[in-house]
């Protein structure tokens, strides 16, 4: 059984297209998972960051390394990072700044 050059090219193109679609789908799933994790953690951390920022402003905490909402958010995230599971830590890898922005935004708006 012999295949023509056209059949081989069509089959190869179809396989490449299937691989591209699967890779794209995986990338979309990872992106959406990161978004969901960031949003849930931002909701969870915003009240604690707000409390820490208020305590600094009321001089209840001395020698704090932050004075704004982003600093408070970063402090809470650093404190909570060891408690996160491996999946959340993996999904938040390289996206800590986005999480800080979300927590700061939630603090300013009073929650999501």
Mean pLDDT in residue range 81-104: 81
Q: How far is the C-alpha of 97 from the C-alpha of 61, rounded, in Å?
A: 24
Structure tokens at 111: 């929650």
Looking at residue 32, its pLDDT comes to 93
Give the burial string for 4-39 (b: 16+ CB within 10 Å, else e). eeeeeeeeeeeeeeeeeeeeeeeeeeeeeebeebbe
Is the whole-model pTM more than 0.85? Answer: no
Helix boundaries (H) for 2-85: 5-57, 69-80
Q: How far is the C-alpha of 41 from the C-alpha of 95, rounded, in Å?
A: 12
What does the domain layout of the chain look like in residue ranges? 5-109
Looking at residue 112, its pLDDT comes to 45
Instruction: Express as a percent the part of the chain with pLDDT over 90.
Output: 27
More confident residue, 72 or 16: 16
How do residues 21-67 score in pLDDT, each as one tens digit? 999 999 999 999 988 988 888 888 888 888 888 887 787 776 667 77
């Amino acid at each position: 059984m012999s295949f023509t050059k056209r059949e081989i090219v069509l089959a190869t193109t179809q396989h490449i297209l299937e691989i591209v679609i699967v890779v794209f789908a995986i990338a979309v799933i990872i992106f959406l998972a990161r978004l969901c994790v960031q949003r849930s953690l931002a909701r969870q951390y915003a009240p604690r960051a707000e409390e820490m920022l208020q305590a600094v402003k009321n001089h209840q905490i001395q020698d704090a390394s932050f004075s704004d909402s982003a600093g408070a958010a970063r402090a809470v995230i650093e404190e909570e990072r060891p408690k996160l599971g491996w999946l959340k830590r993996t999904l938040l890898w390289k996206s800590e700044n986005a999480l800080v922005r979300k927590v700061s935004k939630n603090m300013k708006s009073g929650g999501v």
